[in-house]
Structure 1
Amino acid sequence: MSGAELVLRSTRVVTPEGTRAASIQVTGETITAVLPYDAPVPAGARVEDVGDHVVLPGLVDTHVHVNDPGRTEWEGFWTATRAAAAGGVTTLVDMPLNSLPPTTTVDHLETKRKVAADKAHVDVGFWGGALPDNVPDLRPLHEAGVFGFKAFLSPSGVDEFPHLDHEQLARSLAEISSFGGLLIVHAEDPHHLAAAPQQGGPHYRNFLASRPRDAENTAIAALIAQAKRFDARVHVLHLSSSDALPLIAEARAEGVRLTVETCPHYLTLTAEEVPDGASEFKCCPPIREAANQDLLWQALADGTIDCVVTDHSPSTADLKTDDFATAWGGISGLQLSLPAMWTAARARGHALEDVVRWMSARTAALVGLTGKGAIEAGRDADFAVLAPDETFTVDPAALQHRNRVTAYAGRTLYGVVKSTWLRGRRVVHEGAFTEPKGRLLSRTP
């Protein structure tokens, strides 16, 4: 332990064994020991004592739309990763669409990496995309280090990223399973969506009716059938329909290699409270009713839902019109995900250890980032220092993402992030940022 360069102390450190007073010893970028709070300080080590603030492992958000390059007026690596750092997120994995070009070939992946290289305030990895015509590109993308492949089963909202039909899904999944890859899926059935009433206008109830639960349930059933057929590893993105939970539980009991995520907005916002014309609340699949939300929380608690990610999907403010049919669908929540989740979790009797499990440990495990997701020896020295009992009221002007539109505006939330540390360096403290020090991550072979 004599080589430790930093000792980070707190009376409350969230470790895999529980929350306890501890001294975290760091050498270079790595945690070398987690010792009792009053352990002797190695000669020459710098001590940072954060008192009663809670030290968490940095969050790992595996569902972020950075949109850079090509739609940088919507978001970008500089702004998105600043928002992440401000919210205690130390690792994000960028989605392959909404950027131009989409991450669907190795050349496109390299384009994105070049853009991100000197702009990342946190560590950044990349998903690839599975399109109807890019099956030959999937293995090369896997070998180039993407963490898996995103597919839509219904229109994505952007023309350059078309969805897969039943046979195209089978072809992509057969190829991905052949090299042990992961397919992550936006699961809504296009036929159910087409058959749903499409009234448009400012009333949220009309938008909710246009994205029925049956669309999710049917698409998830189809995905499970294909996963069984190919013994493939699949992941359901942003689950919103609680009706699909029994189907998911049954499939997992049968040995289907299926994981599931949901998002803070499904767990903290309800359809009943969405004002008319407030398209900052629009996302697909949609925010549903309070009774549905209760069942999502129950599934999160019992493990049917594995993890919580933001699906941060911003746009310019002009695309958030008061017509739910035409407004861009996406929630901007990257900076606020930890306090939003902690506020709701504590009200339901959950502890910070639960939030860490859902938003750091399990997300890191999903993408195989063995150096992330926990405070223990051998892991990256990534930390969020949180004042869990302090509150703040969300002011969009204080947000770091490029377009300061948020469904959380005006809400009072518990949990103020005091500082964020990336691989042993403090990258944000009391709102002040260092120069970007994030790394570009690749899937471990």
Structure 2
Amino acid sequence: MILRHLIAEQVLLEGEFAPAHLEILGGEIVRIHRLSAGEGRRRAEIVKASDVGAGAGMTVVDPRHQVLPGNVDTHVHINEPGRTSWEGFATGTMAAALGGVTAVVDMPLNSIPPTVDVESLRIKQRAAAGQTFVDVGFWGGIVPGNTAQLRSLWEAGVFGFKCFLLPSGVDEFPPVNASQLREAMTEVASFDGLVIVHAEDAETIERATELTGGRRRLSHYADWAQTRPHDAEVAAVSDLIEAVRETGCRTHILHLASARALDIIAQARDEGLPLTVETCPHYLCFDAEVIPDGAAEFKCCPPIRDRGNREALWEGLREGIIDAVVSDHSPSTAEEKRRGAPDLQQAWGGISGLQVGFSAVAHEARLRGIGIETVSAWMATNTALLAGLPRKGSITLGRDADLVIYDPRPTNLTSAAGLAHKNPISAYDHYEITGAVVGAVLRGTPLYTAQDTTSALAPVGGFLQGLGSPELSTLRR
């Protein structure tokens, strides 16, 4: 079924919920009729009477449910081709759909080959073709020696370029040093592209690891986190800001975990530097102090930090210093997560949260008096602006009819075994969440409903193109 009409009592329009009737044509929102409270059922009867066949393409949403724009997750590791035992396009995008994410942008690693030239991009697109349940775009990568490839990658449709300032964890995606970073940023600035950076300082981490006893076993999470201290993020962010100042390159800080970097980020913003920042659900939902010993499902880089830091990140979101919240979905096999157990140093560093992240952040936000309207801005509107997706991120005339149906009432205990991503491992196992995604629509096609959550799913996703259009990314320009 292709939707032609959606009628609901609570539709998020321009930051506020209102009764509305959305008309959809060719997957696009073509009309928005604002209604009075309680008018929906009568409106549906009028539509059926005046539009022959409309009944088959009409949904009247439960008045207790909220209609939000589909979330846009710009930080996802799908790992196909090359590491499909970790994750793949079918399982990863199904998890996205079930979590209320209707568009993802895939990272250039941990696939083999990484997306560092046009041929590698085409290999990844061929691997994804025909098996995505949501729309998918791709980041390119910056590695030593590929600066000459960046413009052609941009023109081929990537949304920007990721780099590491320290080892990435996979040999085929090495880090760049300070001069290589500036060379790449200068090139990317020449076509007004975007550089996205894993900002941790290698030398600071090396010193911290030596202070904790080098390679001694570290099973206590807070002890392991000391090997990747706050100072590693602060130093890297400080150096990165200087590189932005020198090159003028639009730059995005990935997965900020340390709130101690917020002040220098705010100062850079005051200078007018083109800098954006994201954090992740796991930094907003968990505290290092209460993570069980050896619990590698919580290991990520940078690490989850203490409760005070967690609340400071929430404050950074409230103040607008942090722009967006994204999953950094980075799964692996159970064998990789158990490597060296219970020593956390050897386990794969990555959290599987694509299906859970939106509901978890909405739950934690509610506990802090923050409405889901604001969460939607962080996880749909701002992420679409960041990547340059003018048809995504809000319920607006002329945009794709990408919608999420959310029920704020039920309380459920998350089970990792019940999640759709490939390996049933997640930090959110046994995490209690109030509020749930109960339906999703992609470009007018219902992916599933509260009554039928999986059997209706079909791989109807398409490819998103960056188009090499600098005017598309308007966040913090």
1:369-406, Cα deviation, whole Å (9 max, x unpaired): 01000011111000111111111111112110000100
1:5 and 1:28 in contact (8 A); partners too: no
1:200 and 1:207 in contact (8 A); partners too: no
TM-score (norm 2): 0.91
1:374 aligned counterpart, secondary structure: coil
2:183 aligned counterpart, secondary structure: helix
Tell me which residue corresponds to 2:383. 363
CA drift of 1:5 comes to: 5.8
Tell me which residue corresponds to 1:314. 331
Tell me which residue corresponds to 1:291. 308
1:272 and 1:290 in contact (8 A); partners too: yes
The one of 225, 229, 239 aligned to 2:256: 239
Task: Give the residue type in structure 1 aligned to 2:460.
Answer: K
1:174 aligned counterpart, secondary structure: helix
- Pair 1:180-2:192 in alignment: yes
- Pair 1:204-2:194 in alignment: no
The one of 34, 43, 48 aligned to 2:51: 43
Distance 1:342 1:188 in 2: 28
1:210 aligned counterpart, secondary structure: coil
CA drift of 1:182 comes to: 0.2
Distance 2:314 2:237 in 1: 19
1:64 and 1:95 in contact (8 A); partners too: yes
112-121 vs 35-44, greater mean Cα deviation: 35-44
CA drift of 1:17 comes to: 4.1
Distance 2:368 2:265 in 1: 23
Tell me which residue corresponds to 2:465. 442
2:75 and 2:104 in contact (8 A); partners too: yes
1:154 aligned counterpart, secondary structure: coil
1:14 and 1:56 in contact (8 A); partners too: yes
179-188 vs 315-324, greater mean Cα deviation: 315-324
- Pair 1:56-2:54 in alignment: no
Distance 1:390 1:56 in 2: 17
2:73 and 2:104 in contact (8 A); partners too: yes
35-44 vs 356-365, greater mean Cα deviation: 35-44
Runs of 5+ unmatched residues, structure 2: 470-477
- Pair 1:330-2:341 in alignment: no
Tell me which residue corresponds to 2:182. 170
Task: Give the residue type in structure 2 aligned to 1:273.
Answer: V
1:322-362, Cα deviation, whole Å (9 max, x unpaired): 32100000000000011110110000000010010000000
- Pair 1:402-2:422 in alignment: yes
- Pair 1:9-2:7 in alignment: yes
Distance 2:439 2:359 in 1: 14
Tell me which residue corresponds to 2:360. 340
2:12 aligned counterpart, secondary structure: strand
- Pair 1:129-2:152 in alignment: no
Distance 1:253 1:100 in 2: 40
CA drift of 1:417 comes to: 1.3
Task: Give the residue type in structure 1 aligned to 2:354.
Answer: L
CA drift of 1:202 comes to: 1.3
TM-score (norm 1): 0.97
CA drift of 1:190 comes to: 0.4
Distance 2:127 2:101 in 1: 20
CA drift of 1:306 comes to: 0.1
265-274 vs 198-207, greater mean Cα deviation: 198-207
2:124 aligned counterpart, secondary structure: helix
Distance 2:11 2:218 in 1: 48
CA drift of 1:201 comes to: 2.6
2:92 and 2:420 in contact (8 A); partners too: yes
Pairing of 1:205-284 with structure 2 (within 5 A): 205-284=222-301
CA drift of 1:35 comes to: 1.2
Task: Give the residue type in structure 1 aligned to 2:60.
Answer: D
Pairing of 1:113-124 with structure 2 (within 5 A): 113-124=125-136
Distance 2:398 2:149 in 1: 35
1:320 aligned counterpart, secondary structure: helix
Tell me which residue corresponds to 1:24. 22
Distance 2:58 2:138 in 1: 35
1:270 and 1:289 in contact (8 A); partners too: yes
Distance 1:355 1:423 in 2: 22
Task: Give the residue type in structure 2 aligned to 1:203.
Answer: H
Task: Give the residue type in structure 2 aligned to 1:337.
Answer: G
Task: Give the residue type in structure 2 aligned to 1:12.
Answer: Q
1:10-63, Cα deviation, whole Å (9 max, x unpaired): 111112241111111111200112213435525132321112211110000000
- Pair 1:88-2:78 in alignment: no
Distance 1:415 1:180 in 2: 40
CA drift of 1:428 comes to: 2.2
Tell me which residue corresponds to 1:352. 372
Distance 1:17 1:296 in 2: 22
Task: Give the residue type in structure 1 aligned to 2:100.
Answer: G
2:423 aligned counterpart, secondary structure: coil
Q: How many residues are aligned here?
A: 442
2:69 and 2:380 in contact (8 A); partners too: yes
Task: Give the residue type in structure 1 aligned to 2:382.
Answer: R
CA drift of 1:434 comes to: 2.6
Task: Give the residue type in structure 1 aligned to 2:31.
Answer: A
Distance 1:200 1:25 in 2: 59
- Pair 1:388-2:384 in alignment: no
1:200 and 1:206 in contact (8 A); partners too: no
1:338 and 1:415 in contact (8 A); partners too: no
Task: Give the residue type in structure 2 aligned to 1:120.
Answer: T
Distance 1:396 1:283 in 2: 17
CA gap of 1:248–1:23, structure 2 versus 1, over 3 A, is same
2:384 aligned counterpart, secondary structure: helix
Distance 2:253 2:3 in 1: 41
CA drift of 1:319 comes to: 1.1
CA drift of 1:411 comes to: 1.4
1:235-255, Cα deviation, whole Å (9 max, x unpaired): 000000110000000000001
Task: Give the residue type in structure 2 aligned to 1:22.
Answer: A
Moved over 2 A (4+): 36-42, 44-47, 197-201
